Amino acid sequence: MISEQRNAILAISLFAAFADGVKDEREREQIRQLADSLGNQDDAPDVPRIYQDVLLKRINLASAAAALTDLEHRQLAYEMAVCVCDADGRQSEHERRFLGELQGFLGLDATQAEALGREADAIAAVVLQPVSDTAATTAAPAHGPVVAVTPKVSEAELDKTILNSAILNGALELLPQSWASLAIIPLQVKMVYGIGKAYGAELDQGHIKEFIATVGIGLTSQYLEQFGRKLLGGLLGKAAGGLAGKMGRAATGMAFSFATTYALGQIAKRYYAGNRQMSSAVLRDSFQNLLGPAKEMQARYLPQIQQTASGLDAAKVMSLVRGA
């Protein structure tokens, strides 16, 4: 894949990220920071410039699509756009219109487009499913003296669950399929739900998504992070030559999915053990402090991550997401 085509796919993914028109400032800032971080990778294109070109409308969707002359790259661009639009578990009317325009610019027929988005839409449908059968409140307890909550299971068992979730999500990042990283979000949501439940907190999905966003993980920006690293690392699609031989290169970069999942689980454990009385600022700072050690841990668990990745396929991923 030449740099012009890679840049076009990145631009189309950023167009998709802003297609709904309702990204709040927190999410926009996370996407900006993402562009800066991706631009710092070795041999990376000028991602911050691409971000500015999209945001300031110095390029348009039609010209980005026109740069993709290879059918495989046009299909990848459309699949990526669907995944970005599905990252928060739904497609708005604005996003559906955007995907229709993109389909036309890329010269894909309806049957092709439907096939390319099928896996992403299936995972997005799982994101929308409730994680609890009970009515739950999203409100945290009123601030006051912190009362420690004892979990219904041992902390060692919770730590094992968190580690296993981090290994699984790290493995998903190694898969060549562009939609695989989309499964990380519902798995993180359900991990946090399980931790909260262990501490006696009944939570709905809205609360959990807000908690994840508060610590500093945006749903759209997280997916863009994973996709960007795959694209720049040459791990995506048929052009990647399959999983074999690509794992080592992918694992030498930031262990984003492993680290964020592990740090998220640990901060969730602290939060619910403290009866949900940590402020937003403390949550964000604590999460950032946990990321460094979590990234260092990834090297230790690389063999387990690779082994897990080698046993995953589309059916297995969907089974894990539905049954998590």
Alpha-carbon distance of 193 to 207, in angstroms, equals 10
Lowest mean pLDDT among 101-105, 161-165, 296-300: 296-300
User: Span 16-42, mean pLDDT?
Assistant: 69
User: Span 118-129, mean pLDDT?
Assistant: 67
The pLDDT of residue 39: 58
Alpha-carbon distance of 129 to 190, in angstroms, equals 11
CB 206 within 8 A of CB 195: no
Alpha-carbon distance of 42 to 104, in angstroms, equals 34
CA nearest neighbour of 323 among 164, 131, 179: 131
Q: Where in the chain are all domains bearing CATH 1.10.3680?
A: 3-125
The 10s digit of each residue's pLDDT in 67-94 is 999 888 898 888 888 888 877 667 788 8
pTM of the prediction?
0.74
Q: What is the CATH number of domain 3-125?
A: 1.10.3680
At 90, is the secondary structure helix, strand, or coil?
A: coil
Residue 204 corresponds to which amino acid?
Answer: D
